[in-house]
């Protein structure tokens, strides 16, 4: 559409069911956070776009069975080991004309997770192989589609995407886990490595801002510990890393382009977020932009959870949070679990304190425990890679080890241990009850992944490879393989129109439980997706979860 008004102009053609131009494919959106499918050039004369062909992927219908009128959604969902969508990257003149296709290489089974224009009109496209072990950042001539230069990054056992920025000089600020921990590197305009900017056994979590005039980059990281987030600054030409935030906890920051000031939104377990404007040099508070009176743990009558360093099954330190009820133990214990990769539960922030489900259970007399087991994020690639090709093993071992430590203190009753979680946490709940029934007696599993061959390519294959390549890992990592071990009480909760973890997972588990003659309880939400969203559904779910633990662990 011309900016001055007038008729819309069609620039691409050929779109049909399963074939699109300018829309990111499902995996790019769901697993790589790429929601854009087209990108304007800096001068506005051209548009880069992605062409997605998913016509060969079978349609997966999701039926709305909770409505008066029948309605069916249709999704082209690529299951692990099955074909992915095919993608191409094109550039078309904004005035109209034939697209120029970028040379993405001979391999067509690829991901295109990032596309960005440089300020000089060069187009950059990130190509990731299906195994997610090799990344190629190509610089393209948009006039011809030819590759001008390429940066190649290879990482085992998998490659996590990170932040990057092109500078006005043409230099590339790049983040990589090549050392085992995510750090910053500077490349020149020809993509030849210049130097490492940060190093150590901690991770850079986000590039916040680049002050090009001052030759400095501001970033968020974990140098002070995995449960904290601070703002740091380091020169683009090297030098010492300088911490700019001081209070222990989690700081979410935005830095002014000139690098002189920053907005700091800070919270900890003791109090809600306070937003201030500060100077980068010296940290002086210029103004308090937002602060809620009496929004502290003490004022709200909440007991902040205890942060603990716990031991994994192999002795590796791991972060834990414990909500303690009143009175002497032993108390019934409930584990709040996620357990999967690319996620971290335990942070010294206000969200941990206002986990109202955990607080309610603690006030009802339960010890509540959350642990970032081996396989979770922001502890380095080796820590996360423990679950490579064997999901459902080391994560469970570490949860069991954490429970044993709390029991050994006399705080928890070994005979009254429950567990709950959602999505990967639902998977962990099922596996806990079936593979460690001597430890876990009661579980509430929300939207659980049951068999990894029923989840998507981008996520599953990154950690497990394909079912064809890793049949033993898929078999041992399937909940249905272990149903004979169930002896406790299991409540399954799932929305029937979940487009992420399909209700099919729960249906397959029910079939296996029925075959094994294992009792279970179930709560279905016919018109909810990955979890209830409306107030009535949320309240109903919380009441059901709490009453389930009260009935089976307090009685």
Residue in this structure with the two tokens 């259970």, named with its chain if needed: 361
Sheet of 250-255, strands arranged across: 250-255, 261-268, 271-279, 285-290
- Of residues 175, 336, 423, 432, which has the active-site annotation? 423
Instruction: Note whether 506 and 520 are within 8 A (CB).
Output: no
Instruction: Note whether 453 and 481 are within 8 A (CB).
Output: no
Q: Where are the beta strands (DSSP E) in 385-520?
A: 412-422, 442-446, 489-495
Residue in this structure with the two tokens 């996520």, named with its chain if needed: 459
Cis? peptide before 157, omega within 30° of 0: yes
Q: How far is CA 211 from the centre of its chain?
A: 28
Element (H, E) at 213: none
Report CA dihedral (203, 355, 424, 330) to the nearest 10 degrees. 100
Distance CA 115, CA 91 (A): 12
Distance CA 439, CA 429 (A): 12
CA angle 487, 489, 490 (to 5 degrees): 110
Distance CA 354, CA 87 (A): 43
| Distances 420 to 325, 338, 423, 489, 542 between C-alpha atoms, Å | 18, 9, 10, 12, 12
At 299, is the secondary structure helix, strand, or coil? coil
Active site residue 423: yes
- Of residues 432, 498, 502, 505, which has the active-site annotation? 498
Residue 465 tokens read as: 């490879």
Residue 549 tokens read as: 């633990």
Instruction: Note whether 412 and 362 are within 8 A (CB).
Output: no
Provide the 8-state DSSP code for 346.
Answer: -
Residue 57 tokens read as: 């992927």
Distance CA 402, CA 363 (A): 21
| Distances 485 to 334, 439, 539 between C-alpha atoms, Å | 20, 12, 32
Residue 531 tokens read as: 């979890």
CA angle 41, 42, 48 (to 5 degrees): 10
Q: Which distant-in-sequence residues (6+ apart) come within 8 Å of 484 by Cβ?
A: 434, 516, 518
Q: Which distant-in-sequence residues (6+ apart) come within 8 Å of 303 by Cβ?
A: 297, 323, 324, 359, 362
Distance CA 326, CA 320 (A): 19
Residue 365 tokens read as: 């007399």
- Of residues 64, 75, 342, 530, which has the active-site annotation? 530
263 phi/psi in degrees, rounded to 5: -95, 125
Q: Which distant-in-sequence residues (6+ apart) come within 8 Å of 70 by Cβ?
A: 63, 64
**Active-site amino acid positions:** 423, 498, 530
């Amino acid at each position: 559409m011309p900016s001055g008004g007038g008729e819309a102009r069609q620039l691409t053609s050929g779109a049909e069911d399963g074939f699109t131009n300018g829309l990111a494919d499902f995996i790019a959106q769901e697993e790589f956070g790429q929601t854009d499918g087209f990108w304007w050039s800096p001068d506005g004369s051209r548009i880069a776009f992605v062409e997605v062909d998913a016509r060969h992927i079978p349609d997966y219908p999701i039926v709305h069975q909770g409505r008066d009128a029948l309605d069916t959604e249709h999704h082209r969902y690529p299951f692990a080991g099955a074909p992915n969508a095919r993608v191409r990257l094109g550039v078309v003149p904004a005035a109209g004309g034939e697209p120029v296709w970028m040379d993405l290489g001979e391999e067509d089974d690829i991901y295109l997770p990032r596309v960005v224009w440089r300020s000089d009109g060069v187009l950059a496209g990130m190509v990731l192989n299906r195994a997610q072990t090799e990344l190629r950042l190509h610089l393209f001539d948009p006039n011809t589609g030819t590759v001008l230069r390429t940066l190649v990054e290879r990482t085992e056992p998998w490659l996590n995407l990170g932040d990057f920025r092109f500078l006005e000089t043409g230099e590339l600020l790049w983040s990589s886990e090549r050392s085992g921990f995510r750090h910053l590197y500077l490349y020149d305009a020809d993509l030849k490595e210049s130097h490492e900017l940060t190093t150590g056994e901690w991770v850079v979590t986000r590039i916040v801002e680049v002050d090009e005039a001052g030759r400095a980059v501001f970033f968020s990281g974990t140098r002070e510990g995995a449960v904290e987030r601070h703002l740091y600054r380091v020169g683009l030409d090297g030098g010492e890393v300088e911490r700019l935030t001081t209070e222990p906890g989690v700081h979410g920051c935005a830095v002014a382009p000139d690098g002189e000031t920053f907005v700091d939104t800070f919270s900890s377990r003791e109090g809600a977020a306070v937003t201030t404007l500060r100077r980068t040099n010296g940290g002086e508070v210029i103004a308090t932009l937002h602060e809620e009176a009496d929004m502290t743990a003490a004022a709200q009558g909440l007991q902040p959870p205890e942060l603990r360093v716990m031991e994994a099954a192999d002795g590796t330190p791991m972060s834990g949070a414990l909500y303690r009820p009143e009175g002497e133990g032993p108390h019934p214990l409930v584990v709040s679990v996620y357990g999967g990769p690319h996620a971290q539960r335990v942070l010294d922030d206000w969200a941990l304190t206002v986990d109202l489900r955990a607080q309610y259970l603690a006030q009802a007399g339960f010890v509540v425990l959350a642990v970032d087991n081996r396989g979770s994020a922001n502890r380095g690639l080796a820590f996360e890679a423990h679950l490579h090709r064997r999901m459902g093993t080391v994560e469970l071992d570490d949860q069991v080890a954490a429970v044993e430590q709390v029991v050994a203190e006399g705080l928890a009753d070994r005979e009254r241990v429950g567990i709950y979680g959602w999505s990967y946490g639902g998977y962990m709940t099922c596996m806990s009850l079936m593979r460690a029934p001597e430890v876990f007696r009661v579980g509430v599993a929300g939207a659980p992944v049951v068999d990894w061959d029923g989840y998507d390519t981008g996520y599953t294959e990154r950690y497990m490879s394909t079912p064809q390549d890793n049949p033993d890992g898929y078999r041992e990592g399937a909940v249905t393989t272990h149903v004979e071990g169930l002896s406790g009480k299991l409540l399954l909760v799932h929305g029937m129109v979940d487009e992420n973890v399909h209700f099919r997972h729960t249906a397959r588990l029910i079939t296996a439980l029925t075959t094994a003659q294992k009792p279970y309880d179930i709560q279905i939400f016919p018109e909810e997706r990955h979890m209830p969203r409306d107030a009535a559904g949320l309240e109903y779910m919380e009441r059901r979860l709490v009453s389930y633990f009260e009935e089976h662990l307090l009685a």
